[in-house]
Amino acid sequence: MPYLPHTNRYQNMQYRRCGRSGLKLPAISLGLWHNFGHVDVLENSRSILHLAFDAGITHFDLANNYGPPPGSAEENFGRILREDFRAYRDELVISSKAGYYMWEGPYGEWGSKKYLVSSLDQSLKRMGLEYVDIFYHHRPDPETPLEETMAALDLIVRQGKALYVGISNYRKEEAEAAIRILRELGTPCLIHQPNYSMFDRWVEGGLLDLLGREGVGCIPFSPLQQGLLTDRYLKGIPPDSRAAKPHGFLKAKQITESRLQQIRRLNELAGQRGQSLAQMALAWILKDDRITSVLVGASRPEQLADSLLCLNQLDFSEQELQQIGEILE
């Protein structure tokens, strides 16, 4: 049976303007870092993508190195796109990135024009696309002049291989310089993709203010801290969880007793709000209107369905915020 998306897919999602651009993104976007590689079950990946699109998630985030093996998430996504989403390309915002190690030799990582241009060409081939909607520089490069990296992003847009560009993992000062250079080049920085969750609040130290002021969108990644901010680890480490998988980026040693105590208290508070912990953790990020979207992951459709319900309750009372602040201290 060919996939037919729900006809009411745009009814329940919120779409937020990305900074001062013309582009709107769904409040919840789906990332394909884990669970979409060749090590994973393709039909499960497909079901997650179907559920996402049926729920109004129009934005799928990839990178050259997602898998494992690296590149395989783009290959699998390309296949599912071809088989199920071909008719809906114009309803999708697809992003990719380059910055981390991808291939041998001096041109396979970091921020040179040589690397960025060839990496995007490879990504487009793997996904079977003529262009991506957003192309990111994945991490700052301490050696390549920022002017060269930003000029590469500008070139890629002028070549029609990406519609917009963004930066990821850039600290405040780095982001400030990148935003300025891109503006001078005539290709404004659309969006920044930083790590941000209840357990990692570094963006509150100036980056969010900068993005708000400059009219650049913000799409936090790992908003559930890779699953820590859910009920996943309340009763130990499940064998099918990220922390148990050899290729999982979350390591068992990160699940300490003091973390678990915080998770238990947060879980209780979420219950009092009538939410799952995952829903509360996402709502807590989305309460700030400088946030364009939260970039979640999921290892099965049910998790994504659960996370989506955060949209029913984004408000927090002063007392709840204070309680959360105390738990996170």
Ligand X SMILES: NC(=O)c1ccc[n+]([C@@H]2O[C@H](COP(=O)([O-])OP(=O)(O)OC[C@H]3O[C@@H](n4cnc5c(N)ncnc54)[C@H](OP(=O)(O)O)[C@@H]3O)[C@@H](O)[C@H]2O)c1
Question: At closest approach, how far in Å is the CB of 61 from ligand X?
Answer: 4
Q: Closest separation between CB of residue 2 and ligand X, Å?
A: 27
3-state secondary structure of 149: helix
Nearer to ligand X, 203 or 298 (CB): 298
Find where tokens 């991506």 sit.
132
Cα–Cα dist 200/220, whole Å: 11
Between residues 184 and 240, which has the closer beta carbon with respect to ligand X? 240
CA 270, 275, 277, 279 dihedral sign is negative
Minimum CB distance to ligand X smaller for 160 or for 246 = 246
The least CB distance from residue 281 to ligand X, in Å, is 8
Query: Which of 45, 187 has the CB closer to ligand X?
Result: 45
Matching residue, tokens 């003091």: 258
Nearer to ligand X, 72 or 319 (CB): 72
Reading the block at residue 63, the tokens are 């990178």
Radius of gyration of the chain from Cα atoms?
A: 19
From the centroid of its chain, how far is CA 329? 26
What is the C-alpha to C-alpha distance for residues 247 and 249, in angstroms, rounded to an integer? 6
296, containing H or E segment = strand 294-296
Q: How far is the CB of 5 from ligand X (least distance, A)?
A: 21
CA 103 to chain centre: 23
- We find the least distance from the C-beta atom of residue 154 to ligand X, in angstroms, to be 20
Measured torsion, CA atoms of residues 196, 200, 205, 210, in degrees rounded to the nearest 10: -10
Looking at the Cβ atoms of 112 and 230, the one nearer to ligand X is: 230
Residue 284 Cβ vs ligand X, minimum distance, rounded to whole Å: 13
Q: How far is the CB of 293 from ligand X (least distance, A)?
A: 11
Question: Which residues here bind ligand X, judged by CB under 6 A?
Answer: 31-35, 61, 138, 168-169, 193, 221-227, 230-232, 241-242, 278, 295-299, 303, 306-307
Smaller CB separation from ligand X, 203 or 278: 278
76's tokens: 């699998």
With residues binned 3-state (H G I as helix, E B as strand, rest as coil), the percentages for the chain, rounded to 5, are 45, 15, 40
Characterize the bridge pairing of strands 24-26 and 15-17. antiparallel
